[in-house]
Structure 1
């Protein structure tokens, strides 16, 4: 730390002069510890980011209306994210969907990836197989990210995020009562 060095001078009755020497070693150690700490924390807290490709907004005054894209129900799978960490899925049309064929699964393990793979293997045209994610108002963001992670794990690049349709919401609400 600090040292006091006393020197005696020869000669008369003069008072002794004390020299003070400050040891800076602990301050240098602290500086290196702080530098190391901040370097580690910045390297370990890098965010994991997944690209979410969304179409560009058309800002023209007269946008060109696009025809609706009709996807065969066998070439798609729809996930509905509900409240209380519940997730439902189906491969049915508006006319065929009911509470008995809107199936529920969980986020545990690889359930969603397995469901995606099974639907993909049964698809007649694999090149246009599409995954549709429809979060409800009660869904939480973590579940949405979990589904996107499972899509990335299953290496499927065609997916979309859209609002739940009224006919799907009706069946969904029957199941959560």
Structure 2
């Protein structure tokens, strides 16, 4: 509560008169406004993507055939390369480049899946380089989700892939 003290003069005598201002309604109004804005604000849910991680416990180690997988290498300047080769066969001729426009990556995944000798073990491998950006990584994961393939892995680029990648990006 606030008090204001004023002096009044009447016929030569000064008389003090106190004025009290009740602040309770203003405090009530502040709480009402605070509650109004809290309840009308839209609380957004964080956008997350479910990464289907394997269960804990013993895992079987299945070697994936080169033709039963497709590898995407994410590079600098929004460039993405893909191949279906091993260390002995990979060269600048079979490391192909695509981009993130439309559903090109989903189509590449679908074509590789159709040609896979063992489709139940078909795997998509994503290998971001140090120059890749996070947006491109999310775009590739989104395309994997669009293509409805559940077997994929994320790993570092191998030295033999890095060598061919460097030849194409220089």
User: What range is the shorter-chain TM-score in?
Assistant: 0.7 to 0.9
Q: For structure 1, which runs of at least 5 residues remain unmatched after alignment?
A: 1-21, 59-65
1:110 aligned to which of 103, 106, 114: 103
Deviations 1:49-70 (A, max 9, x none): 1122267699xxxxxxx89642
- TM-score normalised by structure 1 residue count: 0.71
Is the alpha carbon distance of 1:55 and 1:87 closer, same or farther for their aligned partners in structure 2, counting shifts above 3 Å?
Answer: farther
Q: 1:171 & 1:100 partners in 2: Cα distance?
A: 9
Counterpart residue number, 2:68: 75
The structure whose residues are more often strand, as a share, is: 2
Secondary structure, aligned partner of 2:140: helix
Deviations 1:111-159 (A, max 9, x none): 1111111111111111100000001111111111111111111111000
Counterpart residue number, 1:16: none
Q: For structure 2, which runs of at least 5 residues remain unmatched after alignment?
A: 1-21
Counterpart residue number, 2:149: 156
- TM-score normalised by structure 2 residue count: 0.74
Secondary structure, aligned partner of 1:43: coil
Counterpart residue number, 1:50: 49
Measured on the aligned residues, the alpha-carbon RMSD in Å equals 3.3
Is the alpha carbon distance of 1:99 and 1:40 closer, same or farther for their aligned partners in structure 2, counting shifts above 3 Å?
Answer: farther
Counterpart residue number, 1:5: none
Counterpart residue number, 2:128: 135
Q: 1:39 & 1:135 partners in 2: Cα distance?
A: 42
Runs of 4+ residues deviating >3 angstroms:
27-44, 54-58, 66-69
Secondary structure, aligned partner of 2:162: helix
The number of residue pairs the alignment matches comes to 159
